[in-house]
Amino acid sequence: MDLYYSDGDLAFRDQVRAFLASHLPPELQHKVRQHLRLTRDDYVRWHRILAAQGWAAPGWPLEYGGPGWTPLQRHIFEEECALAGTPQVLPFGVNMVAPVIMAFGSQQQKDYYLPRILSCEDWWCQGYSEPGAGSDLAALKTSAVRDADHYIVNGQKTWTTLAQHADMIFCLVRTDPGVRKQEGISFLLIDMRSPGITVRPIAMLDEDHEVNEVFFDDVRVPVANLVGQENRGWTYAKYLLGHERTGIAAVGRSKRELAFVKRLALREQKRGRPLLDDPLFGAKVAALDIELMALEMTVLRVLARGEAAPGPEASMLKVKGTEIQQALTELMVEAAGPQAQPFDPAYLGGAREHAIAGDDDAAPLAGYYFNYRKTSIYGGSNEIQRNIISQMILGL
């Protein structure tokens, strides 16, 4: 693997930077860089700006409306977006269900859903986890019983991110309870406006409405919304999770947050000198910087393999990426000290221009820290990822 960008790669990076400089709305950039809350309209607005440029789905091939970029170009684009402070293009449609539809869906599903994902006409959410099936996802109990040309779906999903905004949900359901648990699962696309679906919010520690419970009571889903073959959903689920775990590494976002930590530590004083000059705190920052560089090299090694679906190496990226993200939030709170303690929902939600305690940088950090405890759990807990690494990479 060549660790240096070619002249063509550097020219591409300059093109991306020029686009971001001219098209990223300053108010969205401010929200992202200051760790403020984004609305549904914020996410949709940025998605559609990218879609107009043909860049909303950097990993998609040309035949489905993507830019046809190389893996390295995708990495450059995603890193520059993160460094610039763009809202995230939500992964549930573009990076999760879309690759499954491309690989296993019918032509009718491709023709209908992919353009709507690309334009953000449909907002998707993920129906995987259940109260008794989180890390042991194959233990799921949500059932789908065939009734002529429909399935009747009953059950519950939980921790469903932003389901309150969603038009569609891709769901793992049990279609054959009489076989080994991994073999009786199917992959359904379900309209969230279907009768019998109830969405209930789960209040988070920072009082943000981010996740939900989703209940299915005799929900009728057309058989045409089955992706691939019945009872083959576990195969499709693993394919999807490989894409999700690679993206969770979020190298570009961690670079931006590391720069924020350094800026905060230069501002804060300890014994009359910048906190960043303190040997103990500086050593923590340096160690994290080194780990982030190592993670980036590992991401590039995975991407250098080309267009193949990510393998078990995606679990490595997920574990290390989320550990770095959590460590960054810890250093933010440590650097801000008591200024990170005041909880100011009005400022976080945009109802007040400045934090009530007077420190706009520090005000969101405690909530941000608590929120990021989730990263080592979602996408398959890190404990489960270590099992995958030990079995499929180390052969233990």
Residues marked active site are found at 244
* Number of residues written out for the chain: 396
Cβ within 8 Å of residue 46, ≥6 positions away: 24, 25, 28, 86, 87, 89
Number of Cβ within 10 Å of residue 169's Cβ equals 26
* Distance of alpha carbon 332 from alpha carbon 274, whole angstroms: 14
Number of Cβ within 10 Å of residue 337's Cβ equals 12
Helix axes 7-23, 40-53, angle to 10 degrees: 130
DSSP 214-281: EEEEEEEEEGGGB-SSTT-HHHHHHHHHHHHHHHHT-HHHHHHHHHHHHHHHHHSEETTEEGGGSHHH
* Distance of alpha carbon 19 from alpha carbon 83, whole angstroms: 13
* Distance of alpha carbon 371 from alpha carbon 257, whole angstroms: 15
Tokens linked to 130: 């259940």
296: helix, strand or coil: helix
Q: Which residue blocks in the chain are alpha helix, DSSP H?
A: 7-23, 26-33, 40-53, 71-84, 91, 98-104, 107-118, 233-248, 251-267, 279-303, 313-336, 345-348, 365-371, 382-388
Q: Are 158 and 202 in contact (CB under 8 A)?
A: yes
Residue 116 to residues 13, 56, 125, 172: CA-CA distances in angstroms? 28, 12, 14, 21
